[in-house]
Structure 1
Amino acid sequence: MARPNLDLIAALRRTARKIEQGSPYQWGHMGSCNCGNLAQEITKLTKAEIHAHALANGRGDWNEQLNDYCPTSGLPMDLLINEMIDAGLDSDDLKHLERLSDRRILNRLPENKRHLRHNYRDDVVLYISEWATMLEEQLLSTIKLPQFTWETEAVYV
């Protein structure tokens, strides 16, 4: 599962907002699908550049790209995936994102919203938004605040 961090959470929230507000979304296009939209936010590449990287590798969709991923190949798509992994994701996160299939995220949704369709804008926005919220909660749970007693607090007043 993704490593919760502020940059990744912000990238997920920006991705959801952009898709919701009408950013190009086409599930069959490597640069403007679920993963492609997130890749745009993380790598700052355009949808056309991401799509070209994928075609240069000669592999199919994101799932196939991830199955064949080699961190040392130097191929453009593998470098792009490296950047996404460096941002805190792992290959399973990306496979789940493309199919909206991570049970940890789906189980957080209302029961009537757990059967998402991977080619529907509203379902993608819901999934990515809930994922960002889940990571945010995980990150916040690691923050430990100092405990103050009334006597200690009085010193700071």
Structure 2
Amino acid sequence: MARPSEKLIEAFRKTIHKLKNHAPYQWGHMGACNCGNLAQELTQMSKGEIHRYAMQKSGDWNDQLIDYCPTSGYPMDLMISRMIEAGLTVDELKHLETLSDPVILEKIPFERRVKIKKNNKEDVILYMETWLKILEDDFLKNLKIQIPENKRVKTFA
């Protein structure tokens, strides 16, 4: 699973918010699809810039992730590298584009999960919200591990 960080969690929150508030969504557009919308937040590039970079190589996100080479010098590979540096993996990005990560899907109720379509904006939002919850939970678990017991604030119930 992705390496949870404040930056990654915030990028997911902003992406979800934008998608819920009428951000351009077009599954066939490299800068406005599932990965493209998250890439906008993680790279601070516009959908047009992302699309232009992607068109310098052939294929959709999945094809470009298969061919990803961090030392190629292609702008798309540099952008993917920035997403990986933010805590994601190539496999997670492939799954995001097709809404297919079994760990994330497992958290979605069965009756909803079986109806998910990779190119449906509402399904992308649900998938990202589910993933965000997993990231937030993992982030909080990691914080608890890093704070020694004697340094934690005591609460009274």
**Counterpart position of 1:12:** 12
Q: Match for 2:42: what amino acid?
A: I
CA drift of 1:147 comes to 3.3
5+ unaligned residues in a row in structure 1: which ranges? none
1:76-155 pair list within 5 angstroms: 76-115=75-114, 116-144=116-144, 145-147=147-149
Q: Secondary structure at the match of 1:13?
A: helix
Q: Match for 1:8: what amino acid?
A: L
Q: Secondary structure at the match of 1:142?
A: helix
**Counterpart position of 1:31:** 31
CA drift of 1:17 comes to 1.2
The alignment yields a C-alpha RMSD, in angstroms, of 1.2
CA drift of 1:106 comes to 0.7
Matched, 1:3 2:15: no
The Cα offsets for residues 70-110 of structure 1, whole Å up to 9 and x where unpaired, read as 00011110010011011111100100000000010111111
Q: Percent identity?
A: 54
**Counterpart position of 2:43:** 43
The Cα offsets for residues 109-156 of structure 1, whole Å up to 9 and x where unpaired, read as 1121112111111100000011011011011111234435xxxx7xxx
In structure 1, C-alpha distance between the alignment counterparts of 2:83 and 2:2, rounded to whole Å: 10
In structure 2, C-alpha distance between the alignment counterparts of 1:81 and 1:72, rounded to whole Å: 11
Q: Secondary structure at the match of 2:56?
A: helix
Q: Match for 1:119: what amino acid?
A: N
Structure with more contact order per residue of length (Cα contacts < 8 Å, sep ≥ 6)? 1
Larger radius of gyration: 1
**Counterpart position of 1:61:** 60
Task: Give the alignment's TM-score, normalised by structure 1.
Answer: 0.90
**Counterpart position of 1:75:** 74
Task: Give the alignment's TM-score, normalised by structure 2.
Answer: 0.90
5+ unaligned residues in a row in structure 2: which ranges? none
In structure 2, C-alpha distance between the alignment counterparts of 1:40 and 1:101, rounded to whole Å: 21
